[in-house]
Structure 1
Amino acid sequence: MIVELSVNGLNDYYKRLKKASEMFKKMKPKFIEKSLSYIQDKANEHIQTTTGNSSWYVLTHELENSWVINILEKSLINYCSHAAFVEYGTGSIGKGTHPDSRNYSYDVKGHGDDGWFFYDKDHNLHWTKGMEAHAFLFDAVNDYLYRGGFDTIVNEVMNEVFGGL
């Protein structure tokens, strides 16, 4: 901004700064909403692509349809009962397959390579040693932070609020 060094020039500069500050306040909720929606959309894309390659995970769309965005709390939560199992994997097969597993416990019941049996919704009996991680949310956040999502959203919101800065 160019500022005229006079009382009128400084008053004008102050008014422009005040208006810009108000516009930045309008930007924040739009930025949060667009960011969370972007991450949700990317996570759903990753769910579609990675679980389709699973040997036994059946895509029911429950995982993609269990998201809740809360703009006030700046949160995106997936309430699907098996979301963490799909994200991080399970059993001896899943151990070490998530890029950022930290202290996630893969084999809480100690099945090891013996695996375990389970019934599906049609009451068919299956045996498994677990499932590899699908990292759908981890990959979505990386898309946002490192693959252009954040920059795109900042530009979109600034264009909406400031009219094409």
Structure 2
Amino acid sequence: MRAVDAKFEVEEDAAPLDMLVALFEARGWPCEATAEEISGEIQGSWAKYQLRAIWRGEDNVLQILCLPDIRISNEKQAAAQELVALANEQMWLGHFDIWSNGGVLLYRNGTLLGSDGLLGLDQAQSLVEIAVEECDRFYPAFQFVLWGDKDPRDALKSAMVDAAGEA
């Protein structure tokens, strides 16, 4: 058994959705789960994100979706698609996409688990943290394009500027 925090313990490795439910509960993040999916909310640096995990047991694939509650209007589709392509070039794991049904921006990452189909705590934490960090990292660029009418390349450059020193 391994502690997720002082109140919650899980097996070393567990069924993916069981592990994620334990992680959400330990962090105090609200969530709902079914046999194939967990859905919950996580506060990021810029916004509250809906995080969903979908388990496909027949393939041993866990898909993580993180939705920053950004809808893209028809007039902004071209600029948003260009920014998605530019952002995806910067990423090692997962990618951004825009659902054709409703123009919803999302981060998506599919993870192939081993033949036992189990997920470890470290991997569960990493998958959730990566999803939220990537949404946080690119959220300002999408804001610049969608609400500030910036060019996608300029928006990405502006959003990727790291602060130097300490305040």
Taking structure 2 as the reference length, the TM-score comes to: 0.27
Rg bigger for which structure? 1
Q: TM-score, normalised by structure 1?
A: 0.28
Where relative contact order (Cα < 8 A, 6+ residues apart) is larger, the structure is 1
Q: Which structure: greater strand fraction?
A: 2
Instruction: Answer 1 or 2: which has greater helix percent.
Output: 1
